[in-house]
């Protein structure tokens, strides 16, 4: 049975792909050897989803501080899994093991995802989702999202993601497989400052269950708050917005240690060395 691995990335017009995303994609390609990797972009989107409503391209965010492309991606992600099934990964992730190993952990008969256990809401994270196309959860999720899209194109942050998906999962526990929060979140969204630490080692944040390290856009695009305990000031454009590939890879921050763990040096040098 085919079990494709999907990644969607769209670079805003007039911009270049961020360096950290390029590095993540190289790591995904390395760890995805032997897998059916599918990198979907605006240029080939119609090849996979020819019936995707045009309104998807008109989606905006009610919160001007949150990227509308992330909301659009939620619709593309859901449509791909609804039509084909497979594993969806956000582009800003760093695999730490073979993606075939990651897929082997999933319960192919169920909707596999990560339930956040740290926050009070216990919501479902949407950066890593696995499903068969006929799973009731992905079918209901798809139906609700695209019914909402037929009525509007402006969405609140989280509306197309956890706020819609979490109740569906809660109502269908027999069709859900929880991968565990530490499977892909060794650093939690609310603790993004940890990426900037020089003293924290990978072994102290990754568990035996950790297979992937999800990154977050704020350290790279901002706004990033100050970190008094590390002596790092607030940065409206992100703590790491000006960092080169070499700085990200060879630095002494925890995030650099993650890049080195995920992306072999010979591949980094071949792809990014000046």
Which of the listed residues 182, 199, 219 is the one where a domain comes to its end?
A: 182
**One domain, residues 26 and 133:** yes
What pLDDT shows up at residue 65? 66
Residue 211 counted as domain residue: yes
CATH number of the domain to which 160 belongs: 3.90.550.20
Strand ranges for 164-227 from DSSP E: 176-178, 212-214
What's the token pair of residue 212? 């992937």
The yes-or-no verdict on residue 64 having pLDDT over 90 is no
Quick one: average pLDDT of 176-191? 95
- pLDDT of 129 higher than 80: yes
123: number of CA atoms within 13 Å, CB side? Answer: 15
Whether the bond into 223 is cis, omega within 30 of 0: yes
Q: Would you say residue 1 has pLDDT above 60?
A: no
Give the range of the structural domain holding residue 217, as residue numbers without chain letter: 189-262
pLDDT of residue 273: 80
Between these two residues, 244 and 62, which has the higher pLDDT value?
A: 244
pTM score of the predicted model: 0.95
Same domain for 72 and 11:
yes
**Do 177 and 193 sit in the same domain of this protein?**
no
User: Is residue 154 predicted with pLDDT exceeding 80?
Assistant: yes
Q: What is the pLDDT of residues 69-122, one digit of tens each?
A: 999 999 999 999 999 999 999 999 999 999 999 999 998 889 999 999 886 668
239 and 158 share a domain? no
Q: Which of 182, 197, 230 is the last residue of a domain?
A: 182
Find the helix or strand (DSSP H, E) in which 53 lies.
none
86: part of which helix (H) or strand (E)?
strand 86-89
Whether residue 189 is predicted with pLDDT greater than 70 in this model: the reply is: yes
């Amino acid at each position: 049975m085919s079990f494709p691995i999907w990644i969607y990335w769209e670079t805003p017009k007039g911009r270049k792909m961020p360096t950290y995303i390029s590095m993540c994609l190289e790591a995904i390609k390395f760890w995805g050897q032997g897998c059916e990797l599918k990198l979907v972009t605006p240029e080939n989107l119609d090849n996979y989803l020819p019936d995707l409503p045009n309104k998807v391209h008109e989606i905006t965010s009610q919160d001007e501080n949150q990227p509308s492309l992330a909301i659009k991606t939620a619709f593309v992600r859901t449509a791909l899994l609804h039509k084909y099934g497979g594993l969806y990964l956000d582009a800003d992730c760093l695999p730490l093991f073979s993606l075939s190993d990651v897929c082997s952990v999933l319960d192919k008969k169920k909707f596999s995802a990560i339930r956040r256990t740290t926050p009070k809401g216990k919501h479902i994270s949407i950066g890593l989702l696995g499903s068969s196309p006929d799973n009731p959860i992905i079918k209901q999720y798809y139906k609700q999202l695209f019914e909402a899209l037929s009525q509007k194109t402006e969405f609140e942050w989280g509306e197309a993601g956890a706020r819609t998906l979490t109740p569906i999962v809660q109502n269908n526990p027999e069709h859900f497989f929880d991968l565990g929060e530490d499977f892909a979140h060794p650093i939690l969204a609310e603790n993004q400052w940890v990426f900037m630490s020089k003293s924290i080692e990978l072994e102290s944040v990754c568990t035996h269950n950790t297979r992937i390290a999800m990154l977050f856009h704020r350290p790279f695009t901002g706004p990033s708050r100050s970190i008094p305990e590390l002596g790092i000031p607030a940065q409206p454009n992100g703590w790491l917005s000006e960092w080169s590939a070499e700085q990200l890879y060879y630095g002494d921050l925890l995030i650099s240690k993650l890049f080195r763990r995920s992306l072999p040096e010979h591949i980094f040098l071949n792809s990014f060395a000046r």
